[in-house]
Structure 1
Amino acid sequence: MRLVFAGTPAAAVPSLEVLLASRHEVAAVVTRPDAPAGRGRHMVAGPVAERAAEAGVEVLKPAKARDPEFLDRLRAIAPDCCPVVAYGALLPRAALDIPRHGWVNLHFSLLPAWRGAAPVQHAILHGDDITGAATFEIEEGLDTGPVYGVLTEPIRPADTTGDLLERLAHAGAKLLADTMDGIESGLLEPRPQPAEGVSHAPKLGPEDARVDWTAPATRVDRLVRACTPAPGAWTTFHGDRVKLGPVRPAAGASGLAPGELRVGKREVLVGTGTHPVALGDVRPQGKRPMSAVDWTRGLRRAEEDRLV
């Protein structure tokens, strides 16, 4: 089939790679416009745009998918199908109607669970044991379309969003390619999502990533892992923001109030609403990441000091 691939971040690159190597023709790539990045805030192309340019594939960067110039170019390319992975923008009906086999999205959850922008983060945050990926036909609703195929993936106890997303991105790439093959052959038909089990996964912002030390240790652990690498879990000490890497539950320790620090030679414990957790790497404001032990060596602490 003649394809136009839509995607933007690094998690979409494995799918683009697999499709470029497949028997299908990737005629063009649709991606979000360049965005400012780094300390200099220079405009930078996304990972999908960079990979497509390396492969010599036409790259389309509409400000909005309803732009007439973009829609005209898409009609001229005349794709049979448009596979999508984390494109990052809503598609209007005018765009959805152009490919004869529609737009097929690779979503990183077992639909109808965790519809929305942050399915991997929410699966970790809510303590799911199993997640997965699904390919489905895009409708105008939010991740509501009929499903072509699914795969499952266990969530490991120490998984961060980055860890889990990397595995799903590579496994999902094959699922997306297999879905394209099945659509081309006519042997694969999408099935409606069940009405039960619907949950939503809105984007997590910086305020969602602040650690509440009065919460149970399991909740603190899940929040930090869910927000790693982005938006980055954080707390404050003496009013300054401190970013946190994954913590380790320390069920054998006790006697610490929420946010209270206990500094040892090899670890730093923090009290929660249940048992303490051991801090991993931390990143004080304006500084590079370091171990929690190294961070505390440079602190002026009093007994009453807390992380808040």
Structure 2
Amino acid sequence: MSLSRRALFGAAAAAVLPLWPASEARAAAPFRNELPPAWHRFRVGEFEATIVSDGALPLGRPAPAFPASPPEEIEALMRAHFLPVNEATLEQNALILNTGRQLILFDTGMGESMGPQSKMFGPTTGRLLRNMRAAGIEPEQIDLVCATHAHCDHVWGLVDERGQRVFPNAQVAISEADLKFWTDDGNKRGPEWVSVFIEGAKKNLAAYRDRLVMVRDGQEVVPGVTAIATPGHTVGHYVYAITSGGTTLVNTGDLAHHQVLLLRRPLWEFAYDTDPKQSAQTRLRMLDRLATDRHAVLSYHFPWPGLGHVSKESEGFAWHPAPMNVTALG
């Protein structure tokens, strides 16, 4: 005996009818409206690496962040990659590296040091410490903080609102150029945010004045971690190449803020660049190097957890996120 498709689907529908009377409907489970702790651990050769999130950083409409770019092209690129056209959201992916001898944090997120100004990008930032602790790492364990640059979302987590060191046992590595620029009141010109950034950098870096380490282009900060000058986004922006066991991961900081807009169009200018044209040329050169060398990349602002590779594609580059189940890079 055979069953028609209609009879078969009818039987299937009957099979999923409630097993209790309608008059005894169960209460709906409440919405949780909360995210789990955001941390991800993997290996870089012999080193152990942990990425912790400081939370999402919403930019709002993308067009103002790319003032020299055609709005219709921005919208087309966002739409083509299934992204909302009226909302650009960046992540904050802070890397903690355990070399076996030292525990190194790269960038600190927005923190809470500047009170209400610490929430200038909204309430979703400032989660670094809780995510560190969820990953089993206490701020007292950090030996060195490597700052890619001195913008708010990278160094404002160095101290608390009272100006006390968040990482009491740490030194802070930063470029001399960025240290001088972002602690100089004479540079308070141009957009209003520049003055705010300077005040925040002064407060956060002053607490470590006797613990500062000046990075140099091409030199190791510690064994296995090499600083590479990539100026433009700020005058002293640096990326860090981490090498162990024949494997290299490059922590790119703010080399590129968006995985589509600034990879597909690497010469586009970004509103928060100190020197937009220099930044674009630096980005193009470094992305080409990363694609050619096939090094793994940890991007501070790309979608969580910011780990992957870049490849050349058309006139720009493409982003290839690493699978989340990857436990080692090779």
Is the TM value for this pair above 0.5? no
TM-score, normalization: structure 1? 0.29
TM-score normalized by the length of structure 2: 0.27
RCO higher in structure (CA 8 A, sep ≥6): 2
